Amino acid sequence: MAPTSTTSLPVLQPEPATPTPPEYGRRQFLADVMRLSGGALVFIAGGTVADALAAVAGKPRGEAYSWDEHLYAYLIDTSKCIGCGSCVRACAAENKVPDGFYRTWIERYVIGMEQTHVDSPNGGKDGFGPVQVGFTATKSFFVPKMCNHCRATPCVQVCPVGASYRTKDGVVMVDTERCIGCAYCVQACPFGSRFISPVTHTAEKCTWCYHRVTKGLKPACVEVCPTGTRQFGDLKREDDPVRLAIARDRVEVLQGHLLTEPQCYYLHLDKEVR
Amino acid sequence: MTPEISGFSFPNDVHVWWSLMIVMYPYITGFVAGAFIVTSLYHLFGRTEFKPVARLAMATSFAFLLVASLPLQLHLGHPERGINVMITPHFTSAMAGFGILYSGYLAILVLEVWFVWRHEIILRARRTRGVKRAFYATLALGTYDTGPRALEVDHRAITLLAGIGLPGACMLHGYVGFIFGAIKANPWWSTPLMPVIFLMSAAVSGIALLMVLYQVVSKLRARAPDQPCVSALARWLWFFLILTITLELLEIIVMAYERSESWLIISELLTTRLQFSYVTMQMIVGGLIPLILLAVVVLMNRYLHERVRNTLSTVAAFLCLLQVFSMRWNIVVGGQLMSKSLRGLRSHYDPEVFGREGILMAITLFAAPFVILWVFDRVLGIEEPEAAAAAAPPARGEATEEGSIHAA
């Protein structure tokens, strides 16, 4: 999903607090011409009429969002997850994820001293029914998974046309207008977070609901999580609970040996989880 | 059609995104590199025994190169955007190098083909009339000098271009291996051996294809294949097959001996899902058997009757072609049957028959270079004129139809 680009448009700001001249003088005329031409530029450059009007009016639509002021991270406390699947359903509804594909999913681990059983029926979307394993289980837990929005991400590295990219605020995204659908990124992701959408025929993945977080909302999965398993935070805010947890608790990342620097951090991760 | 999963696969990891087309891509590119290696053995390394197939090898390399990018194009979700890989490449991507390597190598090969066939083009321009003459005159690019000094310049240009072309061909194909070998997410692909294995098996497939082509062409022209050439092809095929099989075995032996975390699932993959294509085809039918057949041809060369040598080498070459195809299949498809959870395998992948990425398309792609070769032969004549003239027995009119073009 491309970000809503209201903020990245070249918006001409009005002169700060200039005293309004008594009549419509030369100075005012020139300033207005400047604004109008700015609006025309935005319009010609492919902006909508509303964007152009906003540029003429000298103010952006909605709240100004600056990606320099944020750096997002995600925290998952596996000990809290109850496998209800609300997050998977919310994600599918929010992002119109095609059936059979998953931007996020939940895995169930049933572990004994000798054996491990893992499953994720329909990605956990419908919750989890009872399971019979052929061994004595000694522990069991759920692990929510999603794109790890890695800092050194192989998916962005391998994209031959630069359609996969990482935003300044730390979100890995795909430009569906540019993606050629070669699936190299799908192969390169060690976590199985990407797929080729049968609808758009381009790579698709979790965006941490970028369209929501840039408006100050939480990702849909975090919003609906009833147990606080999933938390979304901003590393640039000193008092952010996620930042504090990463700084002070013993956190783990998935497949750390691959050195992709995931930005999804896990609390209470078991060695069986990959 | 949902695949069956044994064990646990990540829910998005149950699709084979890289289809039959991505199996065809390295297969076809392999012929480009392999055939070029044979021409280089003649043009660069002075292996004169390859003279009878040198021009055929260059034309083969050229014909396969023309279709090499098609399977990639066909596999894209948005083929209409495929050109962006060339015009707006993202250089951290291994795939972005394709545009440069492909077009660079194409330029070198076109130049070399021109120099090798220049004399022939001029001869044809001189003896034809009308549109044909205009066509050959255009191909001649305005120079009609066939004096000894000009031919000497041609010869030097060919040597120089072969000198650039050989590393170019090696890079073009080594790079295909790199595309897989540099994916750290997939332990079945991720090994520095991968480009080397691809390169060696490219040499195998190229030489094997030339062996088969040479026998077929000789049959069509009712002429006995040149035996020193057949022996030399067999010897080099044997050499590259030994290297290929050794490297392919080394790859899994190292994994097994290291007891790497992925070995458990890879061994299951090889012995269950890929049992037929890996153990039976790649290792036994396409590996061990031609290894023995070629050993017979090479070690007992002196004692072999011509027909026995031809038959043994052709059968071995044909099996080698199967070996290399199986190897491409096992890498490309095998790597996707295994989930990156390293806990699960999906069921077999059966490519569609019709459709953009189907079996019919793959057959068409494989057949296309032979059609190009046929056209090439009609337009420029693949055989050297003097060889054709010398070898074409004038008594057998119908069998030497092709040869008579050059002899005329």
What are the pLDDT digits (tens) for B192-230?
A: 999 999 999 999 999 999 999 999 999 999 999 999 999
pLDDT band at residue B3 under the 50/70/90 scheme:
confident
Residues of A in contact with B2 (CB under 8 A): 100
Mean pLDDT, rounded, for B278-288 = 96
Annotate B118-152 with b (16+ C-beta within 10 A) or e (fewer): bbbbbbbbeeeeeeeeeebbebbeeeeeeeeeeee
Contact, A207 vs A48, CB < 8 A? no
Chain A interface disruption, residue of B90, B102, B336, B345, most A CBs within 10 A: B90
Residues of A in contact with B72 (CB under 8 A): 182
Structure tokens that stand for B382 in this block = 């693949």
Contact A161 B183 (CB under 8 A): no
Mean pLDDT, rounded, for B170-177 = 89
Q: pLDDT tens digits, residue range B142-157?
A: 888 888 899 999 999 9
Interface of A with B in 184-243 (CB under 8 A): 184, 186-196, 200-202
Write the burial class of residue B324 (CB in 10 Å: 0-12 exposed, 13-18 middle, 19+ buried). Answer: buried
Q: Is the same domain home to A115 and A251?
A: yes
Residues of A in contact with B184 (CB under 8 A): 154, 190, 258
This prediction's pTM: 0.86
Average pLDDT, chain B: 91
Q: Is the same domain home to A161 and A178?
A: yes
Residues of A in contact with B89 (CB under 8 A): 160-161
- pLDDT of B321 > 80? The answer is yes
> Rounded to a whole number, what is the distance in Å from the CA of B75 to chain A's nearest CA?
7
| pLDDT recorded at residue B245 | 97
Residue A77: which CATH number? 3.30.70.20
Residues of A in contact with B18 (CB under 8 A): 183, 187
| pLDDT recorded at residue B388 | 56
Q: Is the same domain home to A40 and A96?
A: no
Nearest to B61 by CA among B86, B47, B46, B40: B40
Residues of A in contact with B185 (CB under 8 A): 154, 187-190, 258
Residues of B in contact with A194 (CB under 8 A): 12
> Rounded to a whole number, what is the distance in Å from the CA of A215 to chain B's nearest CA?
29
Q: Which residue has the tokens 């569609």?
A: B352
Contact A188 B8 (CB under 8 A): no
Nearest to B234 by CA among B166, B156, B282, B292: B292
- pLDDT of B93 > 50? The answer is yes
Structure tokens that stand for A244 in this block = 């504090």
Q: Is the same domain home to A32 and A161?
A: no
What is the phi-psi region of residue A122: left when phi exceeds 0, alpha when psi lies from -120 to 50, beta otherwise? Answer: left
Instruction: Give the range of the structural domain holding residue A33, as residue numbers without chain letter.
Output: 1-64
Residues of A in contact with B186 (CB under 8 A): 187
The chain B residue lying nearest A118, using CA atoms, is: B8
Q: pLDDT tens digits, residue range B329-359?
A: 999 999 999 999 999 999 989 999 999 999 9
| pLDDT recorded at residue A142 | 98
Pick from A64, A99, A117: which residue ends a domain? A64
Mean pLDDT, rounded, for B73-83 = 94
Provide the edge-to-edge strand list for the sheet that holds A230-234: A230-234, A72-77, A264-267
Q: Is the same domain home to A20 and A105?
A: no
Pick from A64, A84, A116: which residue ends a domain? A64
Contact, B340 vs A192, CB < 8 A? yes
Q: pLDDT tens digits, residue range B14-42?
A: 999 999 999 999 999 999 999 999 999 99
Alpha-carbon span B4 to A263, nearest angstrom: 32
| pLDDT recorded at residue A47 | 54
Contact B93 A186 (CB under 8 A): no
What is the phi-psi region of residue A181: left when phi exceeds 0, alpha when psi lies from -120 to 50, beta otherwise? Answer: left
| pLDDT recorded at residue B169 | 87
> How many angstroms separate the most distant Cα atoms in chain B?
72
Number of domains in chain A: 2
Q: Is the same domain home to A34 and A105?
A: no
For A122, which DSSP code? G
Contact B340 A181 (CB under 8 A): no
Q: How many residues are present in chain B? A: 408
Alpha-carbon span B194 to B251, nearest angstrom: 9
Any B CB within 8 A of A144 CB: no
Nearest to B30 by CA among B195, B188, B213, B187: B195
Structure tokens that stand for A267 in this block = 């609390």
Alpha-carbon span A2 to A11, nearest angstrom: 19
Contact A196 B15 (CB under 8 A): yes
Contact B185 A274 (CB under 8 A): no
Facing residue for A195 by CB, picked from B15, B88, B183: B15
Q: Is the same domain home to A17 and A130?
A: no
Rg (CA), chain A: 23
Alpha-carbon span B185 to B338, nearest angstrom: 11
> Rounded to a whole number, what is the distance in Å from the CA of B36 to chain A's nearest CA?
27
Residues of B in contact with A159 (CB under 8 A): 90, 93
The chain B residue lying nearest A273, using CA atoms, is: B341
Contact A158 B184 (CB under 8 A): no
pLDDT per residue rounded down to tens, chain A (274 residues): 444 444 444 444 444 444 444 556 667 766 666 666 655 555 555 555 555 555 555 444 556 899 999 999 999 999 999 999 999 999 999 999 999 999 999 999 999 999 999 999 999 999 999 999 999 999 999 999 999 999 999 999 999 999 999 999 999 999 999 999 999 999 999 999 999 999 999 999 999 999 999 999 999 999 999 999 999 999 999 999 999 999 999 999 999 999 999 999 999 999 999 9
Q: Is the same domain home to A146 and A204?
A: yes
Pick from A42, A64, A86: which residue ends a domain? A64
Q: Is the same domain home to A149 and A227?
A: yes
Alpha-carbon span A140 to A129, nearest angstrom: 14
Residues of A in contact with B76 (CB under 8 A): 180-182
Q: Is the same domain home to A24 and A72?
A: no
- Which value, to the nearest 10 degrees, does the dihedral of the CA atoms of residues B55, B57, B62, B64 take? 150
What is the phi-psi region of residue B376: left when phi exceeds 0, alpha when psi lies from -120 to 50, beta otherwise? Answer: alpha
Contact B13 A184 (CB under 8 A): no
Contact A154 B98 (CB under 8 A): no
> Which distant-in-sequence residues (6+ apart) come within 8 Å of B178 by Cβ?
B94, B194, B195
| pLDDT recorded at residue A23 | 58
Q: Report CA B70 to chain centroid distance, whole Å.
A: 15
Contact B10 A145 (CB under 8 A): yes
Q: How many residues are present in chain A? A: 274
Q: Is the same domain home to A188 and A75?
A: yes
> Rounded to a whole number, what is the distance in Å from the CA of A242 to chain B's nearest CA?
26
Any B CB within 8 A of A101 CB: yes
CA distances from B205 to A134, A229, B301 (A): 48, 54, 22
pLDDT band at residue B313 under the 50/70/90 scheme:
very high
> Which distant-in-sequence residues (6+ apart) come within 8 Å of B339 by Cβ?
A192, B5, B7, B8, B9, B10, B13, B14, B345, B346
Any B CB within 8 A of A36 CB: no
β pairing state of A230-234 and A203-204: unpaired
| pLDDT recorded at residue A270 | 95
Chain B contacts to A (CB-CB under 8 A): 2, 7-13, 15, 17-18, 72, 75-78, 81-82, 84-85, 88-90, 92-96, 98, 179, 183-186, 335-336, 339-343
> Rounded to a whole number, what is the distance in Å from the CA of B14 to chain A's nearest CA?
10
Contact B93 A160 (CB under 8 A): yes
Nearest to B381 by CA among B39, B119, B109, B152: B119
Structure tokens that stand for B291 in this block = 């290894």
Q: Which residue has the tokens 């090994």?
A: B191
Facing residue for B12 by CB, picked from A162, A179, A193: A193
Q: Is the same domain home to A96 and A219?
A: yes
Contact, A125 vs A88, CB < 8 A? yes
